[in-house]
Each structure stands twice: as structure tokens, then as C-alpha cells.
Structure 1
């Protein structure tokens, strides 16, 4: 058995590498930790060797996703375990700086997934004094052909389904965060958004002023979502990747099958459920000028 417990890193293709480097360094406030022989640039949010990777490309958008796991099994035994679910894997050694070994596979929608057990700590300080400076990557949202099939696949490898928006938007976690992944049924393929966790609402508000002063304008928010109850707002990075900044997300207590109670919940206890689109997107009644789903 394996226990996947963390969304560790997201790798992006970057057409304009310098512009993307500037965004993740000077705007997001991550620290450049490494570069490899292929020209890929690595950024850390805190102590991990990397949490964001930018790879030079003639394309844009998401390239790979890395999850950290724990297990008493060897990497070969983990690969054999995944074969039980008809997952074809490749084992790689020293394929990324800071990651001595990893298992790579494609999920049913063709997204490149990497599982790793250990990552070295960065030699450079992660948190900066300027920029957004989030706590961490909170979650990743992906467009898929069939959210139900995608949710079923990730349940096989240990993720838990925490909420739905109707039957087209499934939320999943591998720890106590309300969601680490969500899947949105769409005719398009690609990332819907990546979300960075803020420390509190004051941090979020200060960041919105910082973004405005640096020419970054919001597409929507802030407002409180229904599923997850996170206070969220959205903007785009230089290559059109949608970025969510959020705080105050629900905490999942898996052992009880509920979310840690909060005064703003309407259900007591708040349990995983199916939300309608209208009630879920904004509990504060903030309208979307542009559709996000």
C-alpha cells in the first residue's frame, strides 16, 4: 500500500521563460532554487527543493504534476502495486533535481503524474519579503472529458471524494485539505486553475493591492465558494494560466466523514454532498463577469 499525502509540485510549459520566471519570482514570491541541463527552472515556496517547475517549450500550460507518498514498499514494489489498477508505470532515477527516484504514469485523461517518496530541502530560503508569498500550492483543477471516471480512478490510489458541483465537477483530497485536486468535465483539456493558499483574509487583501500596483487585475472575486467554503479570487499569469488565491478552506476530518465545523456553514455537521452550481460558486452573491466553468 501507499499513502499519497501531498501535492508537491506542478510543472508548466513556458513559451516566454523569462516572463514566467519573473512572475513566479517577483509576483508570486517563490524562490528560484535550481536549473537543469534542459533549461528548466525550479522554484520553491518554502522548504521543498521545488514546488513549481518552468520548462522551456513552444507550448503553454500544464506539463506534469508531482505527488509525495509514504510507503514501506520499495519503488519497484510500489510500481507493482499500481499495476493492480492497470496503471503502466516508468521508474526514473535522478530525473529531477532534489528527487532521487520517482514513478511516472499517465492518468486516464492523459495527464502526466509523478509520485515520489522523498525530496531534498532547498538550500535557499523559501519565503520572501516581497510578493504574494503563499503558504503553499493548495490545489489543482483539471479539465477532463469525464469527471466521474477521473474521480473513480483517483479513489483507487487513495484519494477521497469530498464534494460535487452537480455531476460535472468533482473534488478530491489526499490529506485534510478540502481538496487537493478537482476535475471539471469539459470539451477542452488542460488546467482549469492552480490555487495558492494565503495565510488569512488580511494577507489576501494586502495581496490584491500588491497585484493592482503591479499590473495584475482580478478576473473574479474575492468571494466565498460553497464547496470548500474558501474565500477565493482569480487572475492570470503571463501565459494565461488561471491562478486562484484562497484562504479559509474547509478542513476534512476523514475519520468522521465531516468537515471541521465553521460558523458560516449552513449544515451541521457539514458533510460531503452535491452542490448546485448557483449556490456553490459564490455564497456572497458576487457575479461572474466571465464564466469560470
Structure 2
């Protein structure tokens, strides 16, 4: 009835619009496509109208995120379907923000604002020549009170649970990426990190040097994670939001319930499973001063 297939954008509250805009434009290498109501700034990685939105605020942190879907149903029928089948109450928004003509807005069980939209305006800034220049927005990680309940909620929307770190960190996908969303049981609400996919390891290493030359230090990595097997490293944007750059993430074949085989897998076939914290964070056995969890 509804097929969510993509994490389209993440919107941040920003105290310092200039610093945050400079980071996403000059450091990340995204293109400013438009200013919206209230002074919001919209940034595109390549062809979507936007993948990052910055909204002026007295606070910092995640404000909302958008999931793109396809369906044979009209958007009002999708709203009715979600309400009748899952008790999800949505509000139809039309022509209120640039790039997306209409979307369904709702709040998930943990209080995060979600926008479901069928179409986004395509633009053509392409990839710039300077900056990190990731392939795409890869995934979003959120702190929640109960990861298990949050995972069950998003299963209703068609997401698949791919892996766990013990019982407190659940990974979910709506396509073939190992994870598009993940949920981290925590005493605090807020984003854990946002992740951008790099082309390959050479691209990743090149941009780590770029970060150093632009006075950005890594706080963790690079190393290979267990769940997802991505080579990952982390730094912070201009307001302390945790940014992951990654490559080599697992590809999930949902029809078979396995991940595409890779030489660095321990299990063949590699299937979704529960990982221990110690084995999951760094398969290379690298200890870092600042832990991620």
C-alpha cells in the first residue's frame, strides 16, 4: 500500500546559521538551492532539491526528517490507510515548504517529527568540486527511550530490522542499504549521528586530510564496525552534531534475508543478528579515547 524507499532529508535547528551554512556548503560541499519561510536554508548534495535543511532557532539539533515513498494511493488515501491500519494520525501539508509540494506530517512514538512525501523537486546543481562531496545522505541515528518499541513502530511502515547491538541499538532499512535509520536506547532524546556515504576508502581518506586542513578533528575512527561492516569515522559539524563519513556498508538482500557476501565477513552467509558491544564497534580492535555508546 505504501513503499518507503529513501531517507530524503534531515532538518536541523541552528543557532548560528552562518557557521552551519558554511559547514554544509564549504566543508560538506552541498549547494544552497533556496531560502524558505522563516529564513530556512535548503542544501542539495546533487539532484534532490534538498537533503539538509537549516532553520534558525534558539536551539541546536534535529528538527525533523523526511522519508520518500511511492504508492498507488493518493496522499489523502495514504493518510487514511496509516490511520485505519496503524493508528498513525497525520496532518496533510500543502505548498508550505520549498521542494516538496505536499507531505504527511506526524510525530513518531518518541516525539520525532517525520515528513512522508511522494515527490521532491529535482534540481541539477550536481556535485561541486570542493568539499567532502559524499555520494548521498546515508542514514540517521536517533536516541530513544525504548529502541525495541521504536523498531516495532517503523516495521509497520515497511522497514526491515537488520541487526542489533545487544538490545539497545536497533538497525533498520527501507531499501538495500544495511541501515537507513537506527535507534539507540538512551536517557536523552536527540540525534546520535547523521551519516554520509563516501565513494570508497580512498575517497574517505582523502577527505579526512581535507577535514584536517580545514581545522576539523576526528573524534572516533576510522575503523570497521561490526553491524553493517562500514568503515566509519566521526567528526562534528559547526554546532556539535555528530557526522559519520562511511564506506563499504553491507548490502541487504531482503528477499533472501542475508547480506551480500564480502571477504571481511565472519559468517557465510552473513545474516541479521545480535552483536555484542565489544565486537560491534571496531572489528579492527582499535580502541578510541571517546566511546560512541
TM-score using structure 2 length: 0.99
Contact 1:172 1:181 in 2 (8 A): yes
Match of 2:149 in 1: 149
TM superposition shift of 1:37: 2.9
* SS of alignment partner, residue 37 of structure 2: coil
TM superposition shift of 1:125: 1.1
Contact 2:37 2:97 in 1 (8 A): no
Distance (Å, rounded) in 2 between the aligned partners of 1:183 and 1:243: 16
Q: Say whether 1:163 aligns with 2:163.
A: yes
Distance (Å, rounded) in 1 between the aligned partners of 2:200 and 2:96: 36
* SS of alignment partner, residue 21 of structure 1: helix
Report the more deviating stretch, 283-292 or 23-32.
283-292
* SS of alignment partner, residue 264 of structure 2: coil
Match of 1:200 in 2: 200
Match of 1:248 in 2: 248
TM-score using structure 1 length: 0.99
Q: Say whether 1:58 aligns with 2:55.
A: no
Contact 1:252 1:260 in 2 (8 A): yes
Residues 72-120 of structure 1, C-alpha deviation per residue, up to 9 Å, x if partnerless? 1011100011102111110000122111110000000000000000011
Match of 1:26 in 2: 26
Report the more deviating stretch, 233-242 or 94-103.
94-103
Gaps of 5+ in 1: none
Contact 2:143 2:191 in 1 (8 A): yes
Distance (Å, rounded) in 2 between the aligned partners of 1:282 and 1:100: 42
State how many pairs are aligned: 292
Gaps of 5+ in 2: none
Match of 1:210 in 2: 210
What's the C-alpha RMSD, in Å, of the aligned pairs? 0.6
TM superposition shift of 1:21: 0.1
Contact 1:14 1:20 in 2 (8 A): yes
* SS of alignment partner, residue 23 of structure 1: helix
Q: Say whether 1:104 aligns with 2:130.
A: no
* SS of alignment partner, residue 223 of structure 2: strand
TM superposition shift of 1:185: 0.2
Contact 1:30 1:126 in 2 (8 A): no
Match of 1:9 in 2: 9
Superposed structure 1 runs of 4+ greater than 4 Å apart: none
* SS of alignment partner, residue 4 of structure 2: strand
